């Protein structure tokens, strides 16, 4: 016997269930008076720097039916590629941009008003293409799903992105590209099936 | 920037990889909703980048006085929720056993009869007019947290013809990096429904299930007021960066 590594195990995940909104967006589901507002409902204000964009995100199951009980969270850098986080060591992010948002999919669609993120370096120093991290929970999802949203008008950066280029089946890369129309990006997350979105383990 | 009240620089190492044999897999057919909501293709793995190492952090200033008291935070003045009064407390630790300060915990639950305050819950057990079912708190320097609530009741759900969830409280946690994001459920020591539940049963390792069962803690009760349960939660730990190559200027 060798020495014990003396580590704990991560608490196992469980589904967020169908009533996740009671806890995470109570005002949205009609439980008023407990919190002044729902966390993550607003990411920008009048002073936020950068190009304003809207996201229209759907989450679809293996039959192509949109989920109406999912919760999507996004996390992204500011317009200069800095994260509004104590773990950001390269500088101070725009104080008027939270970088984090949360939206239920009750209508089958969730929307975010945000800004287009700047580029962030990967671990080897090369720049990643602009992207937004998505975290998706719902009834039937046992462990939150992690994916990324990239932008259809960033073809050159996308072609060199160190995460997109490591996806062996390059035919699947388009599942991570949101399509631009005006200042709106449309993004469908397919949980399962032929058009299945790439999900990450990181 | 150093963390407030600390002279050490924050850690920036990558998080330990998740043990996906320990977590429930995506496809657990006994839990029917997972059948069409589970990816069938393999996850694509990569080492954490800044996008996963960073994450939103929430300050104590955002908390209201009753945010960690579900007995009172939805009740009319002078009234309180009906049910078995309990305190839930514990610590948020990382896999290296260290308390994690500044973690936002959000929790939600059914009332003492097993009814959720949600328009999609049609269970015939009544709502409690003094119980909303949501709360939140932020861990202290040592990772400790506590809140008051009533013990939730079990409730039936449309999975098998006669499936009942054990009494449980849902927990959502933000660590220091978005990669630590976690949602789980707390169960109560001794509940015989735990071992019959298809959602719990998605976890294959018995020790992993036991890690989600809170222990009755008589030393933390308030005599003549509330019983107590202890529930520690472990988030992903992070690697030391001592020998990692970091490019200049990064």
Side-chain half-sphere CA neighbours of B194 within 13 A: 19
Q: What is the pLDDT of residue B13?
A: 87
Please return the burial class of A119, using the count of CB atoms within 10 Å of its CB with bins 0-12, 13-18 and 19+: middle
- Using a 10 angstrom Cβ sphere, with 0-12 exposed, 13-18 middle and 19 or more buried, the burial of residue B206 is exposed
| Residue A30 and residue A21 in contact, taking contact as beta carbons nearer than 8 Å | no
Per-residue pLDDT of chain B (250 residues; tens, 9 = 90+): 344 444 455 677 899 999 999 999 999 999 999 999 999 999 999 999 999 999 999 999 999 999 999 999 999 999 999 999 999 999 999 999 999 999 999 999 999 999 999 999 889 999 999 999 999 999 999 999 999 999 999 999 999 999 999 999 999 999 999 999 999 999 999 999 999 999 999 999 999 999 999 999 999 999 999 999 999 999 999 987 666 655 444 3
Contact criterion met (CB below 8 Å) for A178 and A186: yes
Chain A residues with beta carbon closer than 8 angstroms to that of B34: 15, 140-142
Contact B41 A7 (CB under 8 A): no
Among A120, A131, A144, beta carbon nearest to B181: A144
What does pLDDT average to in each consecutive run of 10 residues of chain A (202 residues)?
93 97 95 95 97 98 98 98 94 97 95 98 93 98 98 98 96 98 98 97 96
Q: Which residues contact A69 (CB under 8 A, 6 or more apart)?
A: A18, A20, A21, A104, A105, A106, A138, A139, B120
Contacts of A194 (CB under 8 A, 6+ apart): none
Residue A140 to residue B29: CA distance in whole angstroms: 10
**Phi, psi dihedral angles at A14 (to 5 degrees):** -135, 160
Nearest to B95 among A10, A16, A61 (CB): A10
The whole-angstrom distance between A182's CA and the closest CA on chain B is 26
Indicate if B165 belongs to the active site: yes
Q: Is B23 a catalytic residue?
A: no
Measured CA to CA, the distance from residue A88 to residue A158 in angstroms comes to 23
Cβ pair B20:A86 closer than 8 A? no
Residues counted in chain B = 250
Domains and CATH numbers, chain B: 56-233 (2.60.130.10)
Kindly report the CA angle at B239 between B236 and B241, in degrees rounded to 5?
A: 150
Query: How far away is chain B from the Cα of A150, in angstroms, using its nearest Cα?
Result: 13
**CA–CA distances in Å: residue A95 to residues A79, A82, A117:** 12, 11, 14
From residue B245, how far is each of A77, A94, B45, B240, B249 by CA, in Å? Answer: 23, 28, 20, 12, 12
Query: DSSP alpha helices (H): ranges in B50-114?
Result: 50-53
Q: Among the options B23, B72, B151, B170, which is catalytic? A: B170
Q: Please name which of B108, B85, B100 lies closest in space to residue B138, comparing C-alpha atoms.
A: B100
Between positions 116 and 175 of A, the ones with CB within 8 A of B are 120-125, 128, 131, 133, 135, 137-146, 148, 163, 166-167, 172
Separation of first and last alpha carbons in chain A? 31
Q: Is B116 a catalytic residue?
A: yes
Compute CA distances B58 → A39, A86, A137, B114, B126, whole Å: 10, 10, 21, 31, 35
- Distances in Å between the Cα of A89 and the Cα atoms of A101, B105, B211 are 22, 25, 34
**Rounded distance between C-alpha atoms, residue B212 and residue B233, angstroms:** 8
User: Considering only CB atoms, which chain A residues are within 8 Å of B133?
Assistant: 22-23, 31
B56: nearest CB among A12, A100, A191: A100
Into which CATH architecture does domain A20-190 fall? Sandwich (2.60)
Map residue B44 onto helix, strand or coil. Answer: strand
3-state secondary structure of A59: strand
Given CB atoms, is A28 within the 8 Å cutoff of chain B?
Answer: no
Nearest residue in chain A measured CA to CA from B3? A86
Q: What angle do CA B134, B156, A31 make, to 5 degrees?
A: 25
What's chain A's Rg over C-alpha atoms? 18
pLDDT at A124: 86
Q: How far apart are CA B171 and CA A72, in angstroms?
A: 16
Averaged confidence pLDDT in chain A: 97
Minimal CA separation from B137 to chain A, in Å: 12
Helices (H) and strands (E) in chain A, counts: 2, 9
What is the DSSP secondary-structure string of B174-226? Answer: E-SSGGG-EEEEEEETT-TTGGG-TTGGG---HHHHHTTEEEE-GGG-BTTTB
Domain boundaries, chain A: 20-190
CA B121, distance to chain mean position in Å, is 21
Catalytic residue selected from B91, B115, B136, B168: B168
CB contact under 8 A, A139 and B49: no
Instruction: Evaluate whether B102 touches B138 at the Cβ level (below 8 Å).
Output: yes
List the catalytic residue out of B165, B176, B236, B238: B165
Q: Is B31 a catalytic residue?
A: no
Q: B189: distance to nearest CA of chain A, Å? A: 16
Q: Which residue of B has its CA nearest to A15?
A: B184
Distance, CA of B61 to chain centre: 21
Q: From B8, B17, B50, B172, select the one nearest B103 (Cα to Cα).
A: B172
CA dist., res. A131 & res. A76, Å (int): 7
A50 vs A22: CA distance, rounded Å: 33
Query: Which of B12, B170, B247 is the closest to A125 by Cβ?
Result: B247
Q: Is the ipTM of this complex over 0.95?
A: yes
């Amino acid at each position: 016997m060798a020495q014990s590594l003396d580590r704990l195990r991560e608490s196992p995940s469980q589904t967020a269930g169908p009533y996740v909104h009671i806890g995470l967006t109570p005002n949205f589901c009609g439980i008023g008076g407990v919190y002044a507002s729902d966390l993550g409902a607003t990411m920008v204000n009048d002073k936020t720097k950068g190009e304003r964009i809207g996201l229209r995100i759907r989450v679809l199951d293996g039959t192509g039916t949109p989920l109406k009980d999912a919760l999507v969270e996004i996390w992204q850098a500011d317009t200069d590629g800095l994260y509004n986080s104590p773990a950001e060591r390269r500088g101070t992010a725009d104080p008027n941009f939270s970088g984090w948002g949360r939206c239920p999919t009750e209508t089958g669609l969730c929307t975010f008003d945000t800004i287009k993120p700047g580029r962030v370096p990967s671990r080897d120093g090369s720049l990643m293409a602009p992207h937004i991290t998505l975290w998706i929970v719902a009834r039937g999802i046992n462990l939150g799903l992690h994916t990324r949203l990239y932008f259809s008008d960033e073809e050159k950066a996308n072609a060199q992105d160190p995460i997109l280029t490591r996806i062996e089946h390059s035919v699947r890369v388009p599942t991570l590209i949101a399509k631009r129309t005006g200042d709106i990006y449309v993004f469908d997350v397919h949980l399962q099936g032929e058009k299945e979105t790439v999900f990450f383990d990181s | 920037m150093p963390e407030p009240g600390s002279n050490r620089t924050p850690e920036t190492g990558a998080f330990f990889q998740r043990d996906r044999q320990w977590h429930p897999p995506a496809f657990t057919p006994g839990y029917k909703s997972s059948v069409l909501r589970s990816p069938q293709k393999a996850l694509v793995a990569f080492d954490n980048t800044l996008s996963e190492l960073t994450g939103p952090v929430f300050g104590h200033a955002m908390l209201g006085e009753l945010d960690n008291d579900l007995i009172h935070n939805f009740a009319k003045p002078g009234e309180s929720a009906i049910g078995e009064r309990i305190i839930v407390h514990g610590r948020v630790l990382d896999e290296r056993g260290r308390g994690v300060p500044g973690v936002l915990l959000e929790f939600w639950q059914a009332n003492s009869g097993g009814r959720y305050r949600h328009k999609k819950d049609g269970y015939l057990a009544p709502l409690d007019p003094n119980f909303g079912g949501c709360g939140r708190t932020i861990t202290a320097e040592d990772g400790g947290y506590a809140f008051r609530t009533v013990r939730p009741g079990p409730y039936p759900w449309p999975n098998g013809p006669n499936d009942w969830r054990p009494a449980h409280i849902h927990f959502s946690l933000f660590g220091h990096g978005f990669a630590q994001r976690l949602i789980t459920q707390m169960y109560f020591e001794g509940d015989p429904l735990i071992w019959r539940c298809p959602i719990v049963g998605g976890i294959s390792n018995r020790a992993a299930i036991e890690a989600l069962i809170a222990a009755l803690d008589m030393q933390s009760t308030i005599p003549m007021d509330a019983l107590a349960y202890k529930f520690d939660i472990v988030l992903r730990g992070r690697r030391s960066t001592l020998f990692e190559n970091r490019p200049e200027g990064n």
